[in-house]
């Protein structure tokens, strides 16, 4: 979970800044800010510290001193290498995301970030430049190698959010630049990705190996995230960037604040939703008939237009519950918004848990005789 003491800013121009609701970003397996505050340490010490070789601190996207690392073309070695004791193994699905500033020119091949076994000259999953074109190399768990690439050169002299992902459930691999999908490829599903402990995580380059063609990246890199899921575009755009706190911020339950045009938005930890991360997901619970015996028998709204959109149905119900100043609500039959008698959370689980709900991340709706429940929790 991201520390409450860290406040974030979504890079200017990303489409999520205009969103009206909070976006839930899953917990990463690693977040390396790559700045003067954390240097090469993982933000919550979940992974071992990286070893910097031939690099120096440089201004970051907000032009703050020490906000990134500069990699130097022409040196024998210029890279940051992170040990992988298994904690960096994404296993099935993966998202690798960082901010880069390409200086232009330099070698034909330039390594940006990813998993390498330099001793055996083997790559697992990495992003690189080939003649200024962003490309992704991936090896699955069976050793099958695939490439996919952008069609346009990476603009030099500017900061870009660069992200590559593979979804093991669907087999879809994607490459993103800033707030756009620039390449997509349909691969084999359930193939996994080669990120085991034989592959170290490298940034900006890797230890010199005459057999390995990818040279040092000519530019700066910062704010590296590794996820063991394939993020959606709205989640990618919501991945935050450390800066100073907004003047006013009230995100509950470990939520983090990020500035936007009209003030700030909350980045909620797993299990929480709402504008201020104040609604805690309880899960799916069985319901009975008739109405007088229901655990959650008070109807507060119907949102049939949202019956095919789980998140929209939950958000419509949440709004109705807040307008009535309730402390508990649930969604039943995909679009019916309900609460307990006298708005008491105590009895919502009277009939036990159920499996007949549909979920999308932290948003869920009941189907048939089940209710997906949320409780107001304004914690620390």
Structure confidence by residue, pLDDT tens digits, 239-273: 877 544 445 668 888 887 765 545 667 878 889 99
For residue 245, give every residue at least 6 positions away whose Cβ sits within 8 Å of its Cβ, in sequence order, or none.
Answer: 7, 257
Write down the pLDDT at residue 42: 92
pLDDT in tens, 286-306: 999 887 889 999 999 999 999
pLDDT of residue 338 exceeding 90, the answer is yes
Task: Tell me how far apart the alpha carbons of residues 107 and 232 are, in angstroms, rounded to a whole number.
Answer: 32
Non-local CB neighbours of 90 within 8 Å, separated by 6+ positions: 29, 125, 193, 195, 226, 227, 228
Look-up of token digits 């440089």? 58
Residues 6+ apart with CB under 8 A from 198: 117, 120, 122
Q: Which two structure tokens, joined as six digits, stand for 370?
A: 């089940």
Sorting pLDDT into bands at 50, 70 and 90, what band is 214? low
Taking 50 as the threshold, does the pLDDT of residue 137 lie above it?
Answer: yes
pLDDT at 18: 37
In this prediction, residue 328 carries a pLDDT of 96
Secondary structure (3-state) at 320: helix
pLDDT at site 329? 97
CA atoms within 13 A on the CB side of 377: 18
Instruction: Please tell me the predicted confidence (pLDDT) of residue 171.
Output: 95
- Separation between Cα atoms, residue 213 and residue 112, nearest integer Å: 13
Q: Is pLDDT of 74 > 80?
A: no
What pLDDT, on the 0 to 100 scale, is given for residue 342? 83
Mean pLDDT of 169-173: 95
* Percent of the chain with pLDDT strictly greater than 70: 87
pLDDT of residue 77: 84
User: Averaged over 308-330, what is the pLDDT?
Assistant: 95
Place of tokens 């090469």: 40
DSSP 345: G
pLDDT at 97: 97
The strand pair at 122-130 and 133-139 is best described as antiparallel
CA 40 to each of CA 11, 27, 250, 286: distance values in angstroms, whole numbers, following the listed order: 21, 19, 30, 48
Residues 6+ positions from 279 with CB-CB distance below 8 Å? 272, 273, 318, 374, 375, 376, 377
The predicted model gives 6-34 an average pLDDT of 60
Q: When comparing pLDDT for 274 and 120, which is higher?
A: 274
**Any idea which residue has 């992902």 for tokens?**
165
Whole-number pLDDT of residue 260 = 55
Q: Is residue 2's pLDDT more than 60?
A: no
pLDDT at 314: 97
| Pairing outcome for strands 172-177 and 159-166 | antiparallel
Task: Pick the most confident of 158-172, 287-301, 336-350.
Answer: 158-172
Task: Note the pLDDT of residue 291.
Answer: 77
Predicted pLDDT at 267: 79
pLDDT at 125: 96
- 253 contact partners, CB below 8 Å, separation of at least 6: 268, 269, 272, 277, 278, 280, 377, 378, 379, 380
Give the Cα separation of 339 and 373 in Å (integer). Answer: 9
pLDDT of residue 19: 39
pLDDT, averaged across the chain: 87
Question: CB–CB of 343/305 below 8 Å?
Answer: no
pLDDT at 296: 94
Q: Is the pLDDT of residue 14 over 70?
A: no
Residue carrying structure tokens 């604040």: 257
Rounded average pLDDT over 172-195: 94
| pLDDT value of residue 341 | 86
Other C-beta atoms within 10 Å of 245: how many? 15
d(CA 224, CA 239) in angstroms, rounded, equals 10
Comparing 51-65, 158-172, 240-254, the range with the smallest average pLDDT is: 240-254
């Amino acid at each position: 979970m991201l520390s409450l003491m860290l406040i974030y800013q979504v890079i200017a121009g990303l489409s999520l800044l205009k969103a009206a609701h909070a976006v839930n970003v899953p917990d990463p397996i690693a977040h390396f800010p790559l700045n003067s505050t954390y240097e090469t340490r993982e933000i919550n010490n979940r992974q071992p510290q990286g070893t910097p070789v031939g690099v120096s601190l440089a201004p970051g996207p907000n032009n703050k001193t020490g906000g990134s690392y500069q990699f130097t073309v022409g040196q024998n070695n210029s890279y940051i290498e992170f040990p992988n004791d298994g904690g960096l193994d994404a296993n099935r699905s993966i998202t690798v995301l960082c901010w880069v500033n390409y200086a232009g020119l330099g070698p034909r091949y330039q390594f940006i970030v990813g998993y390498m076994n330099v001793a055996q000259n083997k790559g697992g999953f990495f992003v690189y430049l080939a003649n200024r074109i962003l490309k992704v190399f991936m090896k699955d768990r069976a050793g099958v190698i695939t490439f996919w690439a952008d069609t346009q050169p990476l603009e030099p002299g500017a900061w870009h959010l660069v992200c590559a992902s593979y979804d093991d459930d669907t087999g879809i691999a994607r490459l993103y630049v800033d707030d756009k999908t620039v390449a997509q490829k349909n691969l084999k599903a359930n193939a996994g990705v080669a990120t085991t402990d034989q592959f170290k995580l490298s940034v900006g380059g890797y230890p010199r190996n005459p057999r390995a063609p990818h040279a040092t990246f000519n530019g700066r890199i910062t704010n590296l995230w590794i996820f063991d899921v394939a993020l959606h575009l709205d989640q990618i755009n919501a991945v935050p960037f450390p800066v100073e706190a907004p003047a006013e911020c009230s995100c509950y339950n470990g939520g983090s604040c990020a500035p936007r045009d009209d003030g700030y938005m909350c980045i909620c930890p797993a299990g929480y939703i709402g504008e201020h991360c104040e609604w805690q997901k309880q899960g799916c619970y069985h319901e009975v008939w008739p109405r007088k015996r229901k655990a959650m028998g008070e109807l507060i709204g119907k949102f049939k237009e949202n019956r095919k959109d789980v998140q929209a149905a939950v958000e419509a119900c949440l709004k109705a519950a807040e307008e009535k100043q309730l402390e508990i609500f649930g969604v039943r039959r995909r679009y019916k918004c309900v609460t307990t008698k006298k708005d008491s959370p105590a009895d919502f689980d009277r009939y036990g848990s159920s499996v007949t709900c549909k979920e999308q991340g932290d948003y869920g709706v009941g189907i048939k005789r089940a209710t997906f429940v949320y409780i107001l929790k304004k914690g620390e």
